[in-house]
A and B are shown apart, each in its own frame.
Chain A
């Protein structure tokens, strides 16, 4: 009898917590604007985790809060009861089974989105991204032009070939989501497909020295015609 009402109270508390989380995450979106095809895969993995983990958090916190309020000793002479070991065993096995199933499904979702991100190495436009302390340089081999601003064409697959002249840097545009280190002695490819026109900020995301905080560049995503004319103009 008493157990049933406890379950009801815990369920209500958990619903309250998950409702609160839902409002919080809608009022303050957990991710910035998604402006690349790759961002969709990252966000899909993220949303899966957010939902499952939000529910786990609500259930565990609901349970803990209920216990802290419902099971307080009224005076210090009160003692708890030793529990029934056979029922304890049942709870242990059930808990393990559920956590294994959840972990494996989340890993499967992650593996699926990871595969989506890396399965296709082909690209329409190659851009060599050369990092050095504390600036970025972009070379477009198909157009044989250089620049300090990264131009990309909307909807096209770009292969960014990252390299570094000195220490490890990292390429990150939050709106594009995926991130890649630029490592001296290596040329690391990264496929990016911008999907929204506009200007973004490229941030160096690996501590590279004194002016790391300021190692920024502008990324501009353009329509086909604008991109082409930009490439042909001298700069």
Chain B
């Protein structure tokens, strides 16, 4: 019954979509998308997906099926799904193979015999994409689904219904691809590289995109299901690497700290030439350095794990890889120093913030090296030395860099200028307060202050009290900041289009920029950081 209603509903949607497409504002493209989604739901309904979801919603165990029909239905047993995947892979392989033979038929002799050039490209594209699907699903989807839950002693996959869904998204996707030759064909190969693929459209191309999205969801669902299954469904006694969590955490979280600091580097290097009235020194080298940091950031994570009990010899490569990061980071300092040399500095508030950031990050960067260095990290790990280090990079670096950018772009964002005296006062208070809080923490860490603890030996009192008082200075700087922003928004001086005499394009728009940004498209007539005069 459910199947019947699902198909009926889908039929109605297909009809309405077709009608809207022909008569309404949707156009044939939109109509075909709607019709496809409807048919997809219909397929899932007909094979029993709706029923499975309903039994799930009602909290019932999935119904056990028998006979050949189960292989053509929305069956949640991983063994059935595995066989479905395997069979589908073989069938798609045959289709892709026939397409290959068709290509060879045309290619047997020069000249055009059997296919038009358009037909050939369509056949070639379909051969490519169907074979890619086969290569992706055959072993992992077919054999993997059948074997993996058995091999780890699990009752089934972690999410059996999701598993069935990931299979049943596949036949519609493949049918859609195979329909495309009859709907205008494809002319962009299986890679669909833009701008060729976005130039002109046929329904066939639309089908390719829809099929791609559908197959993509299918493999994502399958992928997360495998990860969840292998992580959580292992039989008792089947141990796993107890350090795996730490590896995964840092494999993500170390690159993440560069996601925090690299934009701040970018903002500061953007700002300094404006107030130095000179081009950025070593521009290409520093651009390369930022990309080098990005690349290196993926092969340094285990420097967080020198004390974890991981394999001892791994310490060496992770130590060396991490220390290599100081080379591109040094280039950032070179760019700053080269730009300041013989500059005509304007010490406006954004520049003060940028310079404060550089001074902070110098400490942040240098104190990173003893943490990357395996012998010294064995002492410093998980102490306040690391706490101080990362505050110097993230607070002293990323947050001070943000404030540099905030003061630089505030006039553009709001049309008002901040009060410079207050802005400089805030910068001075926060710089002095921040350094006074965190420099003593390095020393405390070395002398036995662990991170994550609320109490400590009495002899640390003078230093701890000093740091707490200094924290109030940082807090007071934020009060100055809030007061400055609120009063400047209400009665700040009008900023005008380009208060800092900067060269980048945002300063050619009004402050704040109107809807659509530019009255006439800006014309680029020079380098973005080309400040100063010819020598």
Contact bitstring A33-67, B, C-beta under 8 A = 1, else 0 = 00000000110011001000100110011011001
Q: B334 to A95, Cβ gap below 8 A?
A: yes
Q: For window 145-204 of chain A, which residues contact chain B by CB distance below 8 Å?
A: 162, 168, 170, 172, 174, 177-181, 183-186, 188, 201, 203
Q: A206 to B382, Cβ gap below 8 A?
A: yes
| Chain B residues near A230 (CB-CB < 8 A) | none
Complex: A106 Cα to B366 Cα, angstroms: 12
Complex: A53 Cα to B329 Cα, angstroms: 14
A53 to B: closest C-beta gap in Å: 5
B487 at the interface (CB under 8 A from A): no
Q: B345 to A67, Cβ gap below 8 A?
A: yes
**In the complex with contacts A28-B443, A92-B334, A185-B242, A71-B341 CB distance below 8 A:** yes
Complex: A29 Cα to B336 Cα, angstroms: 32
B279 at the interface (CB under 8 A from A): yes
Complex: A195 Cα to B309 Cα, angstroms: 25
> Per a CB cutoff under 8 Å, which of A49, A72, A91, A184 touches B376?
A49
Q: For window 348-369 of chain B, which residues contact chain A by CB distance below 8 Å?
A: 355, 358-359, 362-363, 366, 369
- How many contacts A-B (CB < 8 Å)? 205
Q: B383 to A114, Cβ gap below 8 A?
A: no
**In the complex with contacts A32-B446, A177-B378, A180-B309, A53-B345 CB distance below 8 A:** no
A79 at the interface (CB under 8 A from B): yes
Complex: A81 Cα to B343 Cα, angstroms: 7
B352 and chain A: residue at smallest CB distance: A68
Q: A180 to B307, Cβ gap below 8 A?
A: yes
> Per a CB cutoff under 8 Å, which of B309, B333, B383 touches A205?
B383
Which of B40-48, B262-270, B467-475, B527-535 lines the interface with chain A?
B527-535
| Chain B residues near A205 (CB-CB < 8 A) | 381-383, 450
Which of A123-131, A207-215, A217-225 lines the interface with chain B?
A207-215
Interface residues in B, total, Cβ within 8 A: 70
| Chain B residues near A26 (CB-CB < 8 A) | none
Q: B327 to A100, Cβ gap below 8 A?
A: yes
Complex: A213 Cα to B453 Cα, angstroms: 5
| Chain B residues near A96 (CB-CB < 8 A) | 285, 327, 331
Complex: A107 Cα to B533 Cα, angstroms: 43
Q: A53 to B315, Cβ gap below 8 A?
A: no
B110 at the interface (CB under 8 A from A): no
Which of B95-103, B154-162, B317-325 lines the interface with chain A?
B317-325
Complex: A205 Cα to B532 Cα, angstroms: 54
Q: B242 to A31, Cβ gap below 8 A?
A: no
B91 at the interface (CB under 8 A from A): no
Q: B366 to A79, Cβ gap below 8 A?
A: no
Complex: A80 Cα to B452 Cα, angstroms: 49
Q: B447 to A32, Cβ gap below 8 A?
A: yes
Q: B370 to A46, Cβ gap below 8 A?
A: yes
Q: A106 to B373, Cβ gap below 8 A?
A: yes
Complex: A100 Cα to B307 Cα, angstroms: 27
**In the complex with contacts A46-B370, A49-B369, A203-B532 CB distance below 8 A:** no
| Chain A residues near B363 (CB-CB < 8 A) | 57
Complex: A99 Cα to B292 Cα, angstroms: 15
B346 at the interface (CB under 8 A from A): yes
Complex: A43 Cα to B346 Cα, angstroms: 44
A89 to B: closest C-beta gap in Å: 9
B534 and chain A: residue at smallest CB distance: A82
A233 at the interface (CB under 8 A from B): no
**In the complex with contacts A80-B343, A117-B375, A170-B382, A212-B534 CB distance below 8 A:** no
Q: A60 to B333, Cβ gap below 8 A?
A: yes
B341 and chain A: residue at smallest CB distance: A67
Contact bitstring B454-465, A, C-beta under 8 A = 1, else 0 = 110000000000
| Chain A residues near B359 (CB-CB < 8 A) | 61, 64
Interface residues in A, total, Cβ within 8 A: 68
Q: B342 to A81, Cβ gap below 8 A?
A: yes
> Per a CB cutoff under 8 Å, which of A72, A79, A188, A203 touches B347?
A72
A103 at the interface (CB under 8 A from B): yes
Q: B323 to A80, Cβ gap below 8 A?
A: no
> Per a CB cutoff under 8 Å, which of B279, B338, B340, B346 touches A91?
B338
Q: A83 to B278, Cβ gap below 8 A?
A: yes
Q: A95 to B535, Cβ gap below 8 A?
A: no
B273 and chain A: residue at smallest CB distance: A80
**In the complex with contacts A60-B333, A95-B334, A213-B319 CB distance below 8 A:** no
| Chain A residues near B535 (CB-CB < 8 A) | 81-84
B508 at the interface (CB under 8 A from A): no
| Chain B residues near A118 (CB-CB < 8 A) | 312
Q: B375 to A57, Cβ gap below 8 A?
A: no
B407 at the interface (CB under 8 A from A): no
**In the complex with contacts A56-B366, A114-B375, A72-B320 CB distance below 8 A:** no
Chain A CB within 10 A, most for which of B309, B316, B338, B366: B309
> Per a CB cutoff under 8 Å, which of B309, B326, B378 touches A42?
B378
Complex: A185 Cα to B245 Cα, angstroms: 14
**In the complex with contacts A71-B342, A170-B382, A45-B375 CB distance below 8 A:** yes
**In the complex with contacts A71-B340, A71-B341, A206-B382, A99-B308 CB distance below 8 A:** no
**In the complex with contacts A106-B369, A178-B379, A185-B242, A68-B345 CB distance below 8 A:** yes
A46 to B: closest C-beta gap in Å: 5
Q: A79 to B344, Cβ gap below 8 A?
A: yes
| Chain B residues near A56 (CB-CB < 8 A) | 366
B12 at the interface (CB under 8 A from A): no
Name 10 extra pairs, CB < 8 A, besides A83-B535, A106-B373, A205-B383: A31-B379, A49-B369, A57-B366, A73-B344, A73-B346, A80-B277, A81-B532, A107-B319, A174-B379, A180-B309
Counting from the closest, the 7 A-B pairs by CB-CB distance are A80-B278, A213-B453, A73-B344, A67-B340, A174-B448, A80-B532, A110-B373
27 A-B pairs (CB sep. < 8 Å): A30-B443, A45-B373, A46-B379, A49-B369, A57-B366, A64-B359, A71-B341, A79-B344, A79-B533, A81-B534, A82-B279, A83-B535, A88-B338, A95-B334, A96-B331, A103-B323, A106-B373, A110-B319, A170-B382, A174-B448, A177-B379, A183-B243, A183-B308, A186-B309, A205-B383, A205-B450, A212-B452
- Residue ranges of A at the interface with B (Cβ–Cβ < 8 Å): 28, 30-32, 41-42, 45-46, 49, 53, 56-57, 60-61, 63-64, 67-68, 71-73, 76, 78-84, 88, 91-92, 95-96, 99-100, 103, 106-107, 110-111, 113-114, 117-118, 162, 168, 170, 172, 174, 177-181, 183-186, 188, 201, 203, 205-207, 212-214
- Residue ranges of B at the interface with A (Cβ–Cβ < 8 Å): 239, 242-243, 276-279, 281-282, 285, 307-309, 312, 315-316, 319-320, 323-324, 326-327, 330-331, 333-334, 336-338, 340-347, 355, 358-359, 362-363, 366, 369-370, 373-376, 378-379, 381-383, 443, 446-448, 450-455, 530-535
